[in-house]
Structure 1
Amino acid sequence: MAGVEVAGVHGRPVCTTRHGKVEGRVSADGTASFLGIPYAAPPYGGLRFCPPVAPEGWAGVKEAVRFGPTAPKSPYEPPLDALIPEENRDGEDCLNLNVWTPSPGPGARLPVMVWLHGGGFANGSGGACAYDGSAFARDGVVFVSVNYRLGADGFLHLEGVPDNRGLLDQIAALEWVRDNIARFGGDPDRVTVFGESAGAMGIGVLLTVERARGLFHRAVLQSGACHHWLRPASARLVTAHLARKLGVEPTADAFAAVPMAALLRAQGELRAEIGRRPERELWGEVAVNVMPFEPVTGDDGLPMPGPDCGVDILVGSNREEYRLFLVPVGRIDALSGRKLRAMAAAYGLDPQKGPDTYREARPGASDGEILDALATDWFYRIPAIRLAEAVPGTRVYEFAWRSPRFEGRLGACHGAELGFVFDRVDDPAYVPVIGDAAPRDVADAMHGAWVAFARTGDPGWEPYDTGTRATRVFGGGDGGAEDGTVAHDPRSRERLLWEGVR
């Protein structure tokens, strides 16, 4: 740890940021961690619903050995609350981040990976044990995880205040990385931002935002790309519904006066209402994706990044993403053919031809299993392909290892890859989804590819193009036989269904 300061009686590492000194701790393996570092001021009081501003500086040395407060959020609905790790820590200073490094202090110039958590823009936390960055630090990467505003505070459309405050928080965190990470051993000119689900969808927006340009040089988008956002008309519908539910005017001042507990309760109820009545005249675009809190774009939607975006990209999805939302609740067995056809039509496919095409490759599959395949493509796989088609040199992956949970029916579901990417398949936080005997070799391959990409921009397989459509498969659908292969244009007939649709 050459060049790092040592804090008096604690003997702990100290790094200097632009706002003051922080004291971390060192684990038994020699990894240093600095937790709960504020990158912006608490977004409350006069700063509620405002863009993030720099935190106040501090004198002396701030202890940074515990995760900081998390952004307020309503809980996941059962049974997801028992499957997805969620941590809540009260406190207004929720715009904070965490750093793991093998070499605190200036001079090392190691690659940096910045993690943006998922959770539908309404849940999740960067300060979660499941996102411990020790394995990345072990492999020579400075790892940063970020908390950002969620739900109404982060993404509700309100006249007179900026949209996408949660994304502005992410940009502020990346600016903090640019300005400070060299003191933690990182290279500000080799920053990879990566995220899953809403985290990846947010990155899809950041790829098009001028203020974010140059703050990161590589991007990994897991189960999310550039297709999840709301036009202003849909965003206004959400705001109006939430305001009526709370009995307030749809203004920033009125929402700021609502007690946080009541606001969070209403947010949870709103999501449930959309799920019960997913009607476009009520919710606009939200009726299809059932996420009321998403980035708001202009009337023309989000422009797709192009060849000049200046970012190396790795993007992909899990083979059976939607099973997370079908299997635990029993919906996979209860879905009718009529509902399947209605969902196909809502996604823009022919209500008969679409399901029939998916059924050809899955003889004997139930209507619920066909919906999983179809919805997985609409939400995750096709958006990943469209991003790869738009940005030459992009690498594409598919996670196909099938979880044994729920009698093997959970499959390669949404979020199942996280323990593999973080090389933490033994972490109890991941056991509810992947079980307690996940294959170590798949974790070694996937985590290793992410680290290699952060170092060099090459995860170990050829780029995707419209000729070969090379897709690296991690963990075969039959328990491992496909692992290590590169498939070319997998499930092409199903992909072609979405041409001109998604």
Structure 2
Amino acid sequence: MTEIVTRQGRLRGVRRPSGSCAFLGVPFAEPPVGERRFAAPVPHRGWDGVRDATRPGATPQRRQLAEVTLIPEPSVPGESTLNVNVFTPSPDAEGLPVLVWIHGGGFVAGSPASPWYDGAAFNRDGVVTVTVSYRLGFDGFGWIDGAPTNRGVLDWLCALDWVRDNISAFGGDPGRVTIAGQSAGGAAVLTLLGLPAAQGLFTAAHCLSGPIAHITAQQAETFGRALAGRLGVPPTRTDLSTVDESRILAVQRELAPVGEPPADPVAAIAGLAGGLTLGPVIDGDLIKLSTVDSLRTGCGADKPLVLGATDHEFAFGFARARDQLAAVPATDLLSAAGVPDAAGFVAAHPELDTADLLGRYVTDQLFGVAAADIADARGDAPTWLYRFAWPSPVFGQAVHCLDVPFYFDCLDAEGVAAIAGPHPPRDLADEVHAAAVELIKTGDPGWPRTAGKVRVFGQPSGFGEDTFRGARALLTDSARSSSR
């Protein structure tokens, strides 16, 4: 055991055999229950005596999405769900760079308590690591009359405030903070990069497979009113506060079935490619512009950004139905899902069967276009693009979430073999993790920014085609062709 003192009080954590220390379930805000349920987060007032920080704190997640995220992310019961886990090489150190990790899960699930998010490897390399909890689903992002809309975003800001004020007690430097996240966590990173209110709270950003969250105020209000209508209450903070969380979650799953892909492939294509229903909202208050528009103004241009995706992302969902889809022309399915010039898209990929064509479209639309748009919006700001191309022997493709254990260099962790096979390449983990450490320590991942080329992590690794801009060009040309 080991103890340190934060601004809120004394903590007791765990000292590991390597010499590093873990402080788990440290509250950065008061429990979001009762009158605080749909309010902005309230910084934690502190405690008397020594607070035990040897076990993970409560998580907002009430239902896992293991079928979709492929990451083991345990749910922990309890009310004090706004907390952080801190992993440090040594609390006696000074001035170490800091990584703040925001988990994914479609903004409706996910857990900072995943064994994949343990900071052991980053600690080994001299980096203090923080994993953040935040409100999910309707509680975190739903429109409610009389309540702040972006409550989950406010949670991220509150957690980053806590890091600024307390990380030196763990040996970290509050002036050297890199934010990173994958999937919805990557979308969170992009949101914060384009958010003026966040600019003083971090110095670099790393986005893994992050779509762009672009929910409008009207879309958010329409969903909020629909949910309240299903519950039979007015869409006000007072009335919704009387509704049990389990009822809200049940209706949320009906209206926004993230993690439950429909059996109908047309609905799956439209749903996945259409983006998220719950997430950061352009509310005109905290978030005044879309992420891309905000970055075009120069917001976040002083911060290095590493941005990329796996080569096949959500393709595995369609690959599972390869035999059934083989009898259906991809053009018909894509056209029925509203894809402009579906025939042109299919013609551009003659080597792919129907299942892989559907996966290719969703991957390009949701992740490829986002990466290209973000990189271009930043202009000359320091931006590095990458692709994770190593195909999993389990799926035969570089699927969503596959790169996470390589990023954390945790190939022996629980659940990794289920996505990466029994013998994932350790030299690839060395490369991916080392690039992350370089960004955190120096602001540069260690590879040149080459026009028209991106860093490709695979076997072998090297430089390859910028498929992000290529995908965007194809989809844009297809859309123009279909409108003529």
Pick from 88, 91, 94 the counterpart of residue 101 of structure 1.
88
Give the distance between the partners of 1:474 and 1:30, measured in 2 at CA. Answer: 31
- DSSP-derived class of the 1:214 partner: helix
Pick from 393, 403, 407 the counterpart of residue 404 of structure 1.
393
Structure-2 residue corresponding to 1:262: 247
Structure-1 residue corresponding to 2:319: 327
Deviations 1:152-191 (A, max 9, x none): 1101111221111111101111111101101111011110
Structure-1 residue corresponding to 2:346: 355
Deviation at 1:435, TM superposition (A): 1.7
Write the letter of the residue equivalent to 1:473: V
Structure 1: unaligned runs, 5 residues or longer: 1-11
Q: How has the CA–CA distance of structure 1 residues 493 and 39 changed in structure 2, closer, same or farther, with 3 Å as cutoff?
A: closer
Contact 2:144 2:235 in 1 (8 A): yes
1:381 maps onto 2:368 in alignment:
yes
Write the letter of the residue equivalent to 1:317: A
Pick from 62, 67, 70 the counterpart of residue 73 of structure 1.
62
Give the distance between the partners of 1:28 and 1:70, measured in 2 at CA. Answer: 27
Deviations 1:24-52 (A, max 9, x none): 11111111111110000001111111110
Contact 2:149 2:283 in 1 (8 A): no
RMSD of Structure 2 on Structure 1 (CA): 2.6
Deviation at 1:260, TM superposition (A): 1.7
1:426 maps onto 2:416 in alignment:
no
1:39 maps onto 2:28 in alignment:
yes
Give the distance between the partners of 1:324 and 1:124, measured in 2 at CA. Answer: 20
- DSSP-derived class of the 2:109 partner: coil
Deviations 1:233-281 (A, max 9, x none): 2112221332233222222222221112222222222233996599xxx
Deviation at 1:112, TM superposition (A): 0.2
1:89 maps onto 2:76 in alignment:
yes
1:180 maps onto 2:166 in alignment:
yes
Give the distance between the partners of 1:491 and 1:98, measured in 2 at CA. Answer: 34
Pick from 318, 328, 333 the counterpart of residue 310 of structure 2.
318
Q: How has the CA–CA distance of structure 1 residues 217 and 109 changed in structure 2, closer, same or farther, with 3 Å as cutoff?
A: same
Deviations 1:276-331 (A, max 9, x none): 599xxx9xx97853532111114864424144522110000010002243234667
Pick from 442, 445, 455 the counterpart of residue 472 of structure 1.
455
Structure-1 residue corresponding to 2:52: 63
Give the distance between the partners of 2:76 and 2:326, measured in 1 at CA. Answer: 37
Write the letter of the residue equivalent to 1:52: P
Write the letter of the residue equivalent to 1:351: A
- DSSP-derived class of the 2:139 partner: helix
Give the distance between the partners of 2:229 and 2:272, measured in 1 at CA. Answer: 18
Q: How has the CA–CA distance of structure 1 residues 167 and 324 changed in structure 2, closer, same or farther, with 3 Å as cutoff?
A: farther
Aligned 1:133-282 pairs, distance under 5 A: 133-225=119-211, 227-272=212-257, 276=262
Give the distance between the partners of 2:240 and 2:103, measured in 1 at CA. Answer: 25
Q: How has the CA–CA distance of structure 1 residues 73 and 290 changed in structure 2, closer, same or farther, with 3 Å as cutoff?
A: farther
Structure-2 residue corresponding to 1:30: 19
Q: Single out whichever of 258-267 and 313-322 deviates more from structure 2.
A: 258-267
Contact 2:25 2:85 in 1 (8 A): yes
Contact 1:400 1:473 in 2 (8 A): yes
Q: Single out whichever of 185-194 and 490-499 deviates more from structure 2.
A: 490-499
1:487 maps onto 2:469 in alignment:
no
Aligned residues: 464
Give the distance between the partners of 1:275 and 1:115, measured in 2 at CA. Answer: 27
Q: How has the CA–CA distance of structure 1 residues 412 and 251 changed in structure 2, closer, same or farther, with 3 Å as cutoff?
A: same
Structure-2 residue corresponding to 1:3: none
Deviations 1:191-241 (A, max 9, x none): 00000011111121112222211100000011015x222111211222133
Write the letter of the residue equivalent to 2:215: L
1:455 maps onto 2:441 in alignment:
yes
- DSSP-derived class of the 1:398 partner: strand
Deviations 1:449-484 (A, max 9, x none): 0001100011111125xxx13311011xxxx23x1x
Deviations 1:391-410 (A, max 9, x none): 2220111000111114x3xx
- DSSP-derived class of the 1:213 partner: helix
Structure 1-normalised TM-score? 0.86
Q: Single out whichever of 191-200 and 160-169 deviates more from structure 2.
A: 160-169
Deviations 1:103-155 (A, max 9, x none): 213x5201100000000000001122221111100110000000100001101
Aligned 1:335-350 pairs, distance under 5 A: 336-337=329-330, 338-343=332-337, 345-346=338-339, 349-350=340-341
Give the distance between the partners of 1:235 and 1:73, measured in 2 at CA. Answer: 22
Structure-2 residue corresponding to 1:110: 96
Q: How has the CA–CA distance of structure 1 residues 126 and 335 changed in structure 2, closer, same or farther, with 3 Å as cutoff?
A: farther
Structure 2-normalised TM-score? 0.89
Structure-2 residue corresponding to 1:4: none
Q: How has the CA–CA distance of structure 1 residues 460 and 436 changed in structure 2, closer, same or farther, with 3 Å as cutoff?
A: same
- DSSP-derived class of the 2:447 partner: coil
Aligned 1:300-319 pairs, distance under 5 A: 301-302=290-291, 303-306=293-296, 307-309=298-300, 310-319=302-311
Contact 2:391 2:398 in 1 (8 A): yes
- DSSP-derived class of the 1:123 partner: coil
Write the letter of the residue equivalent to 1:353: G
Write the letter of the residue equivalent to 2:132: V
- DSSP-derived class of the 2:224 partner: helix
Contact 1:15 1:22 in 2 (8 A): yes
Contact 1:234 1:286 in 2 (8 A): no
Contact 2:86 2:130 in 1 (8 A): yes
Contact 1:305 1:387 in 2 (8 A): yes
Contact 1:275 1:290 in 2 (8 A): no
